[in-house]
Chains A and B, each alone.
Chain A
């Protein structure tokens, strides 16, 4: 395997995908909307709610780790923490949704534009093509998620510092989600999209089917959040390890699925 070939394919794929306005908008717009606008819109109204106004609300749910860890805080602070944790979910959703747009363009788009033959006739192996294309979906997704994540951390701390008295983010769970689980979710989505592209003939079909394909990953995401909330953040790391193995398996399957002949025919 020659990583320079993977890099050549990846750079070209990114350059080409970003020429499409809908891809560019997705890469920039979706993370901003989901990672900044929605969370801030949720947090901004609650940071100044007096604790007395939250008397009827209970965030001391038995076993809920991230509020029980902060037992000494008042209800407003617990509510803010609860809402921050809920907002963090966006940083798993972005890496699951964004790659469907890019991967559909790079894999099924080749079929649409009838450009695949030049690539499969070039001196590159199936693995190099596969990884080049997978990376081209992964890199913009991960970079834009991380970039927006950095802004998100600053904004959340800016908004909640006065109410909490300390900077809540980044914590171990958030770092685990954004730095490790997010990219692994993105990688799994791209691998699923390869499978989708072998069964569709157009970019639009691939995107539509791709939105259904991410549902099992959503189930993993919801389970992870639930488990880590009640059982502790170590479950997050178990899921991360599990996702590493799942992705290794999916990559192996994906390379076998990428049939040069079918891609050209």
Chain B
């Protein structure tokens, strides 16, 4: 559903040259949920803008929803739904007016248009405020309107840029479930996000980009195995400093926030040795927890490595 070949975008002015996207090759099939990760300025939004035909590639190309982004951008636009990082909803208009406008632009059948919009508004808990101007909405409510806008023409490819931004925990869960439902209907979904906790729960594939280049393209499981990320021990400690464990070979790294310490060790079998050592050094242990590394932990560890800097 999304297939790119050496997709590149270079922004050039008289004095500057910025390679925003550098020869990206993507292959996202139907029914797949793909997370696009990377630090700020990595090229995530530019990639989405290229695939959604907002930007024209400097070189390379892509087929999105069966259409060429260069030769047939209008068909690409008709077949995709996009929710941008900053919700592009007209603040002076009501949610209903906004959605009717986009439904008309996307040729949604006029006879069923309002009924369908109202159904989605109900699903996203916005029905009661549908006739109020969007300017009176919270950030999360505006975000929901933006997501409804992206799906109301039932696109075969959905691109969501930071979809969980500003959403409450229950709305976050509802959106997660909604995305999975769409994937079950064979929709291809590309999610650019920093919310790795949410992404981990639903993505089938992970693409990490930096400086415009794909660094990692894998599944979460493969990623864990591939990068053999260290197990983690989280502790709340007093009377501790990093020097205490500096002579322990199996402690790979320690991260500290106030008295909360995260130890990256070789294996959980070494936990008792670590505890014994800390006690012997008179550190006071309040709590201790063994944690299987999450996607976020993997990402942060990778970020610490040179390749993501």
A residues whose Cβ falls under 8 Å from a Cβ of B = 5, 8-9, 12, 15-16, 19-20, 113-125, 260-261, 264
Contact = CB atoms under 8 A, between A and B. Distances in A.
Interface string B90-107: 111100010001101111
A117 B84 contact: yes
Contact of A5 (B92, B105, B133): B105
Interface size class of B (residues with CB under 8 A): 20 to 34
Nearest to B100: A12
The 10 closest A-B pairs by CB, nearest first: A118-B88, A19-B92, A123-B78, A123-B77, A122-B105, A8-B104, A12-B101, A115-B88, A117-B88, A121-B52
B190 interface: no
A20 B97 CA distance: 16
B77 A19 contact: no
Interface string B148-162: 010000000000000
Contact of B54 (A114, A117, A124): A117
A16 B98 CA distance: 10
6 contacts: A9-B105, A12-B97, A20-B92, A117-B54, A120-B54, A264-B55
B53 A121 contact: yes
Given A117-B54, A264-B49, A122 B89 contact: no
Contacts of B52: 121
Residue among B80, B90, B106, B107 having the largest count of chain A Cβ atoms under 10 Å: B90
A261 B106 contact: no
A19 B93 contact: yes
B82 interface: yes
B86 interface: yes
Nearest to B52: A121
Given A19-B93, A20-B92, A121 B77 contact: yes
Given A121-B54, A264-B54, A16 B90 contact: yes
Given A8-B105, A118-B102, A16 B88 contact: no
B56 interface: yes
Contacts, number: 69
Interface of A is mostly: helix
Contacts of A116: 88
Contacts of B285: none
Contacts of A261: 54-56
Contacts of B80: 121
Given A113-B90, A116-B88, A261-B54, A123 B74 contact: yes
A243 to B, nearest CB: 32
Contact of B106 (A12, A123, A264): A123
A15 B54 contact: no
Contacts of A118: 82, 84, 88-89, 102, 149
Contact of B101 (A8, A19, A20, A113): A8
A208 B210 CA distance: 41
Contacts of A260: 54
B55 A122 contact: no
A208 to B, nearest CB: 22
A115 B54 contact: no
B54 A122 contact: no
Nearest to A17: B92
Contacts of B90: 12, 16, 113, 115
A114 B88 contact: yes
A121 B79 CA distance: 11
B59 to A, nearest CB: 15
Contact of A122 (B77, B92, B93, B97): B77
Contact of A115 (B75, B82, B89, B106): B89
A198 to B, nearest CB: 15
Nearest to A122: B105
Interface string B120-156: 0000000000000100000000000000010000000
A114 B106 CA distance: 20
Given A16-B93, A113-B90, A121-B80, 18 more contacts: A5-B105, A8-B104, A9-B105, A12-B90, A12-B97, A19-B133, A113-B91, A114-B88, A115-B88, A119-B88, A121-B53, A121-B54, A122-B102, A122-B105, A123-B107, A124-B77, A125-B74, A261-B54
